């Protein structure tokens, strides 16, 4: 029990320290913004960059379209979901 308060303090500290998380998600693209180079998947907006890797026949942002099923690997930095890799979702 003595460790719990220490863990809670460390967890609270992480919430306020510019947290960086990496994860992945899959689903159908709901919408795209070509000017901002973003797309929405499961209600979350993902930003693409020059470093975004495209696989499975996808080579660039222009290959994405609404309704396309994809898996996106991403990092979450300072409130923004950055797509690090986008590939077709294989059922």
Average pLDDT, the chain: 84
Q: How many domains does the chain have?
A: 1
Q: What residue numbers bound the domain in which 51 lies?
A: 18-88
Diameter over CA atoms, the chain: 54
Residue 84 lies in a domain: yes
Q: pLDDT-based confidence at 18, cuts 50/70/90? A: low
Sequential DSSP letters for the chain: -THHHHHHHHHHHHHTS--EEEEEEEEEEEEEETTTTEEEETTEEEE--TT-EE-TT--SGGG--TT-EEEEEEEEETTEEEEEEEEEPP-
Residue 1 lies in a domain: no
At 36-73, the pLDDT tens digits run 999 999 999 999 999 999 999 999 999 999 999 999 99
* pLDDT confidence of residue 19: 63
Residue 45 lies in a domain: yes
* pLDDT confidence of residue 22: 75
């Amino acid at each position: 029990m003595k460790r719990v308060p220490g863990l809670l303090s460390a967890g609270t500290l992480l919430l306020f320290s510019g947290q960086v998380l990496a994860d992945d998600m899959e689903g159908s693209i709901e919408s795209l913004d070509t000017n901002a180079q973003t797309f929405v998947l499961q209600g979350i907006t993902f930003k693409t960059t020059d470093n975004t890797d495209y696989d499975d026949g996808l080579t660039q942002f222009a290959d994405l379209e609404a309704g396309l099923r994809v898996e996106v690997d991403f990092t979450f930095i300072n409130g923004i979901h950055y797509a690090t890799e986008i590939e077709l979702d294989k059922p």
